[in-house]
Chains A and B, each alone.
Chain A
Amino acid sequence: MIKRRLNIRMSGLGGQGVVTSAHVLAMAASKENKWSISNPFFGAEKRMAPAEAYTRIGIDRIYDRGELVYPDAIIVFHPQVITMQKSYTAPFYSGVKNGGLLIINSDVPLLSKEDKASLVKLNVSTFYVSATKIAIDIAGTELATNMALIGSVAGITGCVSLQSLDLALQDRFGKKYVASGGTATLDEAIKKKFAKKEQLLAKNLATVTHAYERAGAWANDNKYELMVAAA
């Protein structure tokens, strides 16, 4: 399915880098002259509370803002989004479009029989990815889970290239970045994990690349197609 606009909803928990993911993905799209817009939605900031962010990428000017009620793709950053209903919609896949995509960060299947039946009716494909494990294996920290997830969605949909993601990551982590208190603290935490900023960028990109290739292979094997039209 080739679309003029791809709507991506990211559901996770505070502290996982959900908002950062949406911004990085939108920035990457902007780098390759696509129209894009990203915005977060969360309550008073706290870790482990539901946090959502949305990225819209397309070939026409995008005005739509706010919570993404009808997504083409949903990324679940944490099992608790499903198991403890930590999402802004119930069920977490509410509103997903026909032929849509579900990416879940989990080592084990999490969907109930009812969920599966509903998703089959909607012709939604599900891609499980052990994003946290990939992050630990490649970047050496679970804080790079979000990198594995944006790599996955980009790998399956081709909505942004690896080169654009690289440029967006350099913008986000290579320069001084504007962030609220909580996000700034997390930024500092991840920077301390690495001796140098370059190392952080390299590890992030390696995580993104690994997930990108793996997810792309899954899409090929399953003949799944969800793409943004060429501008």
Chain B
Amino acid sequence: MTTTALIGTKNKKGQVYTDPNEIFFEAPRDASFLTGSEIIKEAIKRSSCEMSVAYPITPQSEAASLIGELFAEGYVDIYSRGASEFDVMSICAGGSFGGSRCFTTTAGPGTLRAMENFPMWAGSRLPIQVCITCRGINSPLSIQPDTLELYYMLETGCLIWHAETAQDLFDFIMKGFVVAEQPDVHLPIAVACDGFFVTHTKDVVMMTPDDMCLPRYDPYRSPVPCMDMECPPVRMMRDPFVMKNNYISYATHASWQQEVRAAIERSRKHTEVLLDGLIEIENGDAEVLIVSSGTAVSQGRETITLMKDEGFDVGLVKIKTLRPFPTEEIKAATRNAKRIFVPEFNVAGWLAREVKAVVEDNQRVVAGPHVGGGMTMPPEVVMERILRTLKADKEELSHV
């Protein structure tokens, strides 16, 4: 019996397996005032998640221990602790190979320690979800929000969605499972949010009823052989023909890497429907646009209000998905802008590089402002950067 056949029936906790579209678009929603960590728990409670593995590192977030509570209450079937983040991600791989819907969380140094596993997940087509609650990765130790780790994630072959708020986080986690598990996608997904700014912040979130849950994961919808008694793991990890001939090995790996990226692209059509597009545009006709993701979007929204009070017209493009990257959408949304600002919570400015790589006439792009190491980015700082640039532009024009 496929898992969709279970729709309308109840699980052992009395939750009704419900069509995802009904949960997301038709079910009533109630307002709750919760932290981002609590929201992660609430989303997983409704996601028919069979397995979660934790390397709990509070104060990154309390999410991992809260999912432990879900296990104790019977909402999650398997819950274990890894010896390290590398261990956690490896256990998740085993769980996913075995047909479970797996969820875990990590952050900062933990993400980097686990890094080898992410491309392994993608290559093995394991639709595991990892929630990355971004924090600094540098030494001395930092627990503060910083999005540098997402730079390292970009080419792992994972889908990567970046939540702006706790509301996004709730929706992205549940919708993320649905997209990641599509047979023509079937890839791991990293749902990222900024530590502290989302995980530790109390905000209003509209939640779906907790007596409705997603249908369970069906491993037989996988595009690659599902691990079972006829197909043990060794066949997938070390298929002999790949290992015995270098040329074939190279060709196989090269084409498989392309296939993983193609699968990311194929996720667009599912994502567009569920997230209402890969980008969101606010006041898109403005000549000055802020293009960003995560908390920087919220700070951008505040900047728009601040600058309106000063008589300036500023718009915003929110990037919801970093992989797939909304190339055509950003191109179109920014076509008429005279200046494009990309504020970021990291020292590298990786999102500005991504934006510069896709927009036409990319000297319009200003990489910044940047803050790093957990520093806050008040809207006044974004405004100051915009005004300074516009003033310089004006002076340059007057010299021509």
Contacts and interface: CB of A to CB of B under 8 A. Distances in A.
Interface of A: 23, 26-27, 30, 35-45, 63-67, 69-70, 178-181
Contact of B204 (A30, A39, A64, A181): A30
Given A39-B196, A44-B141, A178-B62, A66 B377 contact: yes
Given A64-B299, A65-B295, A70 B378 contact: yes
14 contacts: A26-B33, A26-B202, A30-B33, A30-B204, A36-B202, A37-B203, A38-B201, A39-B196, A39-B201, A66-B145, A66-B299, A66-B378, A178-B37, A180-B62
Interface of B: 33, 35, 37-38, 41, 58-59, 62, 66, 141, 143-145, 165, 196-198, 200-204, 295, 298-299, 301-302, 375-380
A181 B61 CA distance: 11
A69 B378 contact: yes
B204 A66 contact: no
B380 A69 contact: yes
A70 B302 CA distance: 14
A11 to B, nearest CB: 15
A27 B33 contact: yes
B196 A40 contact: yes
B58 A180 contact: yes
A63 B37 CA distance: 18
Nearest to A22: B202
B201 A37 contact: yes
B117 to A, nearest CB: 26
Given A63-B165, A66-B196, 15 more contacts: A26-B33, A27-B202, A36-B202, A38-B202, A40-B196, A44-B143, A63-B298, A65-B197, A65-B201, A66-B377, A178-B41, A178-B62, A180-B58, A180-B62, A181-B58
B376 A69 contact: yes
A45 B202 contact: no
Nearest to B56: A181
Nearest to B35: A178
A187 B103 CA distance: 30
A63 B301 contact: yes
A36 B202 CA distance: 8
Nearest to A42: B59
A26 B302 CA distance: 19
A23 B202 CA distance: 7
Contacts of B62: 178-180
A66 B301 CA distance: 14
A39 B202 contact: yes
A64 B298 contact: yes
A65 B199 CA distance: 11
A43 B141 CA distance: 10
Closest 8 CB pairs of A and B: A66-B376, A63-B298, A67-B376, A39-B201, A63-B301, A30-B33, A69-B378, A65-B197
Contact of B302 (A30, A63, A67): A63
Nearest to A171: B33
Nearest to A44: B143
Contacts of B165: 63
B197 A39 contact: yes
Nearest to A95: B378
Given A44-B141, A65-B295, A70-B380, A39 B200 contact: yes
Nearest to B379: A64
A39 B380 CA distance: 19
Contacts of A23: 202
Given A43-B143, A44-B143, A178-B37, A65 B298 contact: yes
Given A43-B143, A44-B143, A66 B197 contact: yes
Among A23, A37, A44, the most chain B Cβ lie within 10 Å of the Cβ of A37
Contacts of B143: 43-44
Contacts of A40: 196, 200
B47 to A, nearest CB: 19
A180 B60 CA distance: 10
Contacts of A42: 59
Among A23, A37, A38, A65, the most chain B Cβ lie within 10 Å of the Cβ of A65
Contacts of B141: 44
Nearest to A23: B202
A146 B250 CA distance: 64
Among B200, B299, B375, the most chain A Cβ lie within 10 Å of the Cβ of B200
B115 to A, nearest CB: 23
Contacts of B200: 39-40
A187 to B, nearest CB: 14
B196 A41 contact: yes
Contacts of B204: 30, 35
Nearest to B204: A30
B59 A180 contact: yes
Given A39-B201, A40-B196, A180-B58, A63 B380 contact: no
